[in-house]
């Protein structure tokens, strides 16, 4: 019996932004779906508008698995994860162990395709777009929290917005300009 998908289903119990007061809770399963959708679209933007030749489906699948190790580690807050170089190095080792444990929950003959998604994702050519999508998802969360009057997210918003601008990725800039503002609209305004 394989526990792989039963463990993945636990993603809905891992809360994000644990050190901050949230007006709307978010779990890693929700975040992962949003990241996958954004990663797919960033690739489409790169290919259609900026002359790229990247695989949107590959980016979406990588994004689906980008946080699965948090089933074991929880969502480590960024200030903690990057507190010291040793902390970051240690956390990366824990992530690798968690990824290996998750893969080992699959039947042996089915493990290889998942290794590239869980253990070697950072070596994939579309990984920078997946990371950008991950950061955009965090940006959108901060944007919505600020819009709801939650000043707890002011510094996170400013830092993440700056990080996105420093990427110098035209598809990210396009997403921020063309899509992000709609996250501040009510359903009635979206439908009008």
Both tokens assigned to 82: 């990057």
What per-residue confidence (pLDDT) applies to 5? Answer: 96
In-domain check, residue 192: no
What per-residue confidence (pLDDT) applies to 162? Answer: 97
In DSSP terms, 27 is beta-bridged to 15
In-domain check, residue 119: yes
**Around 69, how many Cα atoms within 13 Å sit in the side-chain half-sphere?**
21
What per-residue confidence (pLDDT) applies to 90? Answer: 86
In-domain check, residue 191: no
What per-residue confidence (pLDDT) applies to 32? Answer: 98
**Number of folded domains in the chain?**
1
Numbers of helices and strands, H then E, in the chain: 11, 0
Q: Cβ(39)–Cβ(133) under 8 Å? A: yes
What per-residue confidence (pLDDT) applies to 81? Answer: 76
**Distance between CA atoms of residues 114 and 105, nearest Å:** 11
Q: What is the pLDDT along the chain (192 residues), one digit of tens a residue?
A: 899 999 999 999 999 998 899 999 999 999 999 999 999 999 999 999 999 999 999 999 999 999 999 999 888 777 777 778 888 888 889 999 999 999 999 999 999 999 999 999 999 999 999 999 999 999 999 999 999 999 999 999 999 999 999 999 999 999 999 999 999 999 999 998
Domain with 102 in it: 4-186
Q: What is the pTM of this model?
A: 0.94
CA distances from 49 to 36, 45, 130, 174 (A): 20, 5, 18, 10
What CATH number does residue 156 fall under? 1.10.3210.10
In-domain check, residue 117: yes
In-domain check, residue 54: yes
What per-residue confidence (pLDDT) applies to 91? Answer: 83
The mean pLDDT value of the chain amounts to 95
What per-residue confidence (pLDDT) applies to 83? Answer: 79
In-domain check, residue 86: yes
In-domain check, residue 15: yes
**Distance between CA atoms of residues 8 and 105, nearest Å:** 11
First to last CA, the chain: 50
Burial of 106 (0-12, 13-18, 19+ CB in 10 A): middle
In-domain check, residue 98: yes
């Amino acid at each position: 019996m394989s526990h792989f998908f039963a463990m993945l289903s636990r993603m809905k119990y891992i809360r994000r932004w644990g050190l901050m007061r949230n007006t709307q809770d978010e779990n890693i399963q929700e975040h992962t779906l949003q990241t996958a959708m954004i990663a797919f679209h960033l690739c489409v933007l790169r290919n259609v508008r900026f002359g790229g030749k990247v695989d949107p489906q590959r980016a979406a699948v990588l994004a689906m698995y980008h946080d699965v190790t948090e089933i074991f580690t929880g969502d480590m807050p960024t200030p903690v994860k990057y507190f010291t170089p040793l902390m970051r190095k240690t956390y990366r080792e824990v992530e690798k162990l968690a990824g290996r444990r998750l893969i080992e929950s699959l039947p042996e003959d089915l493990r290889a395709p998942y290794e590239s998604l869980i253990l070697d994702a950072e070596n994939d050519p579309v990984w920078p777009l997946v990371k950008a999508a991950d950061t955009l998802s965090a940006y959108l969360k901060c944007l919505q929290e600020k819009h709801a009057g939650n000043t707890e997210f002011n510094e996170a918003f400013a830092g993440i917005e700056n990080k996105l601008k420093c990427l110098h990725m035209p598809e990210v800039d396009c997403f921020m300009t063309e899509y992000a503002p709609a996250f501040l609209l009510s359903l009635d305004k979206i439908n009008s």
